[in-house]
Amino acid sequence: MNQPLSYWQTFSIVLMRDLKVAVRNKGDVFNPLIFFVIVITLFPLGIGPEGNTLTRIAPGIIWVAALLSALLSLERLFKNDYSDGSLEQMLLSPQPLFIMVFAKVLAHWILTGIPIILAAPLLALLLQLETNAYGAMLATLALGTPILSLIGAIGVALTVGIKKGGVLLSLLILPLYIPVLIFATGAIEAAALGLPYSGHLAIIAALLVGALTLAPFAIGAALRVSTN
């Protein structure tokens, strides 16, 4: 009789597996990032290159682009596992679903959230963001992008069994992203004006903690519905 896996082992096995799969399909990692860069490039072209306008709308543009690129990359989270059946095996395994779901979402964030955080300062430079807002931008992205992955995973879990789930997914989860967007851009704007923004960060952190505790349950329940 094999020794049952500990929670930590389960977690790291699922996490490493997802990271390995992603590293072997590099497009999955880079396409959302390229999308993020292209969307941000479109705004100056559409609005005009005046520095003042760009400075004013830079926080919003960066965050909306981050939301959209998270949305784009989310579908991959469960789709392949669903079509090749490994998702069902995970649900059948004796390990708690909470932990496996958590590992998958963390892998998604490492693969899509972190590249966005790394690329953001460069793009903020293109948008001529106020110099003193860089710290706030990085902090909100670091706290906010995991929320995007967690909430988004609920939507993906609900739509993974549906053939054309992509458009539906955006309809389901974009409204739920609104609080993150509001507080994140609020923090960046406050920082640009030299005002304190720790309150905004505290609220985003609270949203993150709430999402961390509640979302995996919703994701698990949704996966059980989708795989029936």
Q: Given candidates 183, 189, 190, 216, which one binds other proteins under the rule CB under 8 A?
A: 183
Residue among 139 and 218 whose Cβ is closer to other proteins? 218
214 interacts with other proteins by CB under 8 A: yes
Q: How far is CA 128 from the centre of its chain?
A: 24
**CA of 102: how far to CAs of 65, 122, 130, 217, 228, in Å?**
25, 30, 36, 10, 20
| Options 37, 57, 182, 212; binder of other proteins; rule CB under 8 A | 182
If one asks whether residue 218 binds other proteins (CB under 8 A), the answer comes out as: yes
Among residues 34, 38, 195, 225, the one that binds other proteins under rule CB under 8 A: 225
Rg of the chain over all Cα atoms, to the nearest angstrom: 18
Assess contact for 173 and 155: CB atoms under 8 A. yes
The one segment of 19-27, 30-38, 56-64, 213-221 that binds other proteins by CB under 8 A: 213-221
- For residue 174, give Cα distances in angstroms to 20, 71, 123, 181, 225: 29, 8, 23, 10, 21
Among positions 62, 207, 208, 216, the unique one binding other proteins when judged by CB under 8 A: 207
Smallest separation (angstroms) from other proteins to the CB of 201: 14
Q: Which residues contact 60 (CB under 8 A, 6 or more apart)?
A: 185
Please, which residues have CB within 8 angstroms of residue 193's CB and are 6 or more apart in sequence?
A: none
Build a one-symbol-per-residue string for 99-138: x at contacts with other proteins by CB under 8 A, - elsewhere: ----------------------------------------
Instruction: Rule CB under 8 A: choose which of 106, 111, 158, 190 binds other proteins.
Output: 158
Closest to other proteins by CB, 162 vs 195, is: 162
Is residue 178 within the footprint of other proteins (CB under 8 A)? yes
CB of 68 within 8 A of CB of 39?
yes
Complex with other proteins: residue 85 or 199, whichever CB lies closer: 199
- Are 171 and 113 in contact by the 8 Å Cβ rule? The answer is no
Query: Is there a contact between 117 and 32 (Cβ–Cβ < 8 Å)?
Result: no
Which residues are at the interface with other proteins (CB under 8 A)? 151, 154, 158-159, 161-162, 165, 168, 171-172, 174-176, 178-179, 182-183, 186, 207, 210, 214, 218, 221-222, 225-226, 228
